[in-house]
Structure 1
Amino acid sequence: MNDQTVRDLLHEAADDIEPRDRLDAIRAATASTSGGRRTHRGWWAAGGAGLLAASIATAFALTTGGAPQSTGPDLAAPPTSGSTVPDGGTSSPVAVYFVGDTAAGPRLYREFRAADPDSRVTSAMVAALRGDALDPDYRSLWPSTTVFRAWSTGPDGITVTLEGAPVERPAGMSEQDAQLAMEQLVRTAQALEGQGRVPVDVQVAGAVTDTILGVTTTTPLTGSPDADVLAPVSISDPVEEQVVGDGQLTVRGRALSESRVVTTRIQRWEGTFVVAQEVDRLRAGNDGMLEFTATFDLTDVPAGQYAVVSTVEHSDGTVDSDTRRITVID
């Protein structure tokens, strides 16, 4: 698969997912149900044998790096020159949510990556939990003991089963970080399903619990409003370390700003020399994240490494940016 084909797939995925990400969201339901304490023992007993087999297969892939299977966590390489999908499969972009720093504190950033369709769910969930982001500025807030174990969908939403996730909030983790970690998992699951802000039931294998990381999980979670948890500006395309060989670069992303203005510039990676800049005004009429697009002709730009930087300025004078590292070749 060549560079352009993978980029086209990423563009199509962004077009499909971004409108759903802007749907009006409601806060996570955290009150206990009238029926009292939720129990998963029946589910565990019924599905224990199948889950055990899947867990063993997943653990084997994690520790041995074996051939990609549907249970394997084969994380996709960034779609740069020469990137391929194992065993000749077709690349299918997935969106994974990570945590990064903003002027207002930690927030969520979305990162697209190519993935084998047979392992896209496991790849995305494992990456989100581990913090295996392509962009070194991103991370995960989940404890390292947490392991993805199972996934299922149904008419009532998505069920994600973890293993090793602390029931109580770990020492040193703030309540805000615990909520953001859960939001990171929920939004990644919803993006994988591609049906909007559907409920996500997060469980711990073999445990009966009302909380995970101290966050109430007695009822499925749908997520918080965009403005409360998402970074004010986030680049969807290009991906980190993308190679630009035809001189044309289109930058796509999402932003939330009072001024509704996003400035995108291309500058040398080492230094601050700006080779191109474009200002995009966001559309009005939506309180959620809005798309922006900036197109650049880099035909006359010397080969080398550059930074793509998209920036929004807030009414209080603070500034937020998202950055991608790219390589321009002749």
Structure 2
Amino acid sequence: MTRRPRSAALLVAALVATTLLAGCGSDSAEDQSPASGPTRHHSAGSTPSDGSSPSSTAQADQVTVPVYFVGETPQGPRLYREFRKVDAADPLGAALSLAASGEALDPDYGTLLPAGTFSTSGDATVALPDDSWTRAPKGMSQTDALLALQQLVYTAQGVLQSREPITFTDSSGGATQVLGVASEDGFTAADPIKTLALVNVTSPESNAEVSGSFTASGVSSSFEATTPWELRDADDRVVAQGSATAEGWMDKLYPWETEVDVSGLEPGVYTFVAMTDDPSGGEGAGPTVDSKTITVS
């Protein structure tokens, strides 16, 4: 069954709608266009490190692209990113179809989108799977529709490595609204601080196998750029911990990276957890977290 997040209050709809419909792109170079150098592969998961190209060739017939899913945070549902290998024949269509399926590697992620398969020409004009996508499904709130639309926009702009507005078309080939949300000039990425989870682990992937030590990386917007992390055993006991320093904070998500030594641990299943720093000392809603199950061999 497709994992679909609860329809809890997630964003102030007016704030997201204002950014979404304004027709201007986000200034975040990391999120919808995370390309600034050659792909680096890590032994734990073999996924691109943040700031690297999301479209490097994994095999002759596959490329690696960013796909955005939905997960719960203290601020409500937000977008989380995974780098995934997809068919090189139509990477944009494959990435959008994957976002709609909700079939994330991380079991904590899901989707707000209806089921559907995209086929694209590889540019910023995207045909909807069918005309039912022009209307919000029964029971979908406006805030959920806006976040679902952002799944498509962030994924499309990430694959295209461009901030160009995304235009969706119906069966007639004409520009159309999506999930009941209209725009005259195409759809752009909403403010990352109000749309994305404030911490996101890129490496290791879920179910990665590691040994000796591994490089953990991701993006965050955390107090004073500090991104604490923990490694927990099968009984949820903390067996290692530390913190990474991101390249910045406050206005968008910035890359972070750290080395994690597992050489002294018994082989088995562990959970790597990255989180935002909580200057309230537990008095607020609590930190945003992203966790990945790994196996130490």
TM-score normalised by the chain length of structure 1: 0.69
Name the residue aligned to 1:240: 206
Name the residue aligned to 1:321: 289
More helix as a share of residues: 1
Deviation at 1:106, TM superposition (A): 0.6
What value does the CA root-mean-square deviation take over the aligned residues? 2.4
CA gap 1:236/1:8 in 2 versus in 1, 3 angstroms = closer
Structure 2 distance, partners of 1:274, 1:206, is 56
Structure 2 distance, partners of 1:167, 1:160, is 13
**1:128-172 Cα deviation digits (max 9, x unpaired):** 11111111111111112x33132332xxxx111112243222221
Deviation at 1:179, TM superposition (A): 0.6
**1:73-93 Cα deviation digits (max 9, x unpaired):** xxxxxxxxxxxx7xx636532
CA gap 1:290/1:90 in 2 versus in 1, 3 angstroms = same
Identity of aligned residues (%): 30
Name the residue aligned to 1:301: 265
Structure 2 distance, partners of 1:302, 1:121, is 41
Find the partner of 2:150 among 180, 183, 193.
Answer: 183
Deviation at 1:286, TM superposition (A): 6.1
Q: Residue 148 in 1 paired to residue 118 in 2?
A: yes
CA gap 1:133/1:251 in 2 versus in 1, 3 angstroms = same
Structure 2 distance, partners of 1:204, 1:140, is 22
Structure 1 distance, partners of 2:42, 2:223, is 36
Contact 1:201 1:220 in 2 (8 A): yes
Name the residue aligned to 1:65: none
Find the partner of 2:246 among 278, 282, 294.
Answer: 282
Q: Residue 163 in 1 paired to residue 134 in 2?
A: no
Q: How does 1:87-102 map to 2 (within 5 A)?
A: 89=60, 92-102=63-73
Q: How does 1:85-124 map to 2 (within 5 A)?
A: 89=60, 92-124=63-95
Name the residue aligned to 2:140: 173
Larger Rg: 1
SS in 1 for 2:264: coil
Structure 1 distance, partners of 2:63, 2:44, is 11
Structure 2 distance, partners of 1:96, 1:118, is 17
Structure 2 distance, partners of 1:90, 1:5, is 21
**1:167-202 Cα deviation digits (max 9, x unpaired):** 22222111111011111011111111123x221112
**Unaligned stretches of 5+ in structure 2?**
1-40
**1:207-256 Cα deviation digits (max 9, x unpaired):** 65642111113321121111110001110111111111x41211101111
Name the residue aligned to 1:33: none
CA gap 1:210/1:152 in 2 versus in 1, 3 angstroms = same
CA gap 1:232/1:305 in 2 versus in 1, 3 angstroms = same
Bigger drift between 161-170 and 277-286 goes to 277-286
Deviation at 1:6, TM superposition (A): 7.1
TM-score normalised by the chain length of structure 2: 0.76
Deviation at 1:204, TM superposition (A): 2.3
Find the partner of 1:224 among 190, 201, 204.
Answer: 190
CA gap 1:119/1:208 in 2 versus in 1, 3 angstroms = closer
SS in 2 for 1:93: strand
Letter in 2 for 1:201: T
Structure 1 distance, partners of 2:251, 2:190, is 13
Letter in 1 for 2:208: Q
Name the residue aligned to 1:70: none
SS in 2 for 1:11: coil
